[in-house]
Amino acid sequence: MNTTYNALVVPARITQPVRIEPVNTDMAALQKLLAGNIESITGADWHVYLNEQGHPMPPNIRAEVLIREAGVNLKEAFNGTAIFLGHGRYVQELDAPRHLIRLAEQLFDLPLAA
């Protein structure tokens, strides 16, 4: 079973680039990437993984903007790196949806995909 998918990675630090990269989605790998236990927020055909204890990490303003612009109303702020992926019918992981990547490109004025 494939556990590596192309994710949209949005670091909290503005000096680090937003990027597309292959991410191993097994729990241990995600916890290592996010530096702790994870939580997720779900959109229509995507979800984002975040560190559930993000308060010692820098705030992730870019991820918050992207989540809101993608149609999810947030009630709290988020810290640390955000990993965006797609999902299918039976909650299987998929590559980050193209429309979410395009939205990130527009919001952050970045070319992400060739």
Among 97, 83, 66, CA closest to 25: 83
Mean pLDDT, the chain, integer: 90
The string of pLDDT tens digits covering residues 55-78 is 688 999 999 999 999 999 988 888
Residue 112 has pLDDT above 80, yes or no: no
Among 83, 60, 79, CA closest to 14: 60
Instruction: Place 90 in a pLDDT band, splitting at 50, 70 and 90.
Output: confident
**pTM assigned to the model:** 0.93
Q: What is the CA radius of gyration of the chain?
A: 13
The domain locations on the chain are 4-108
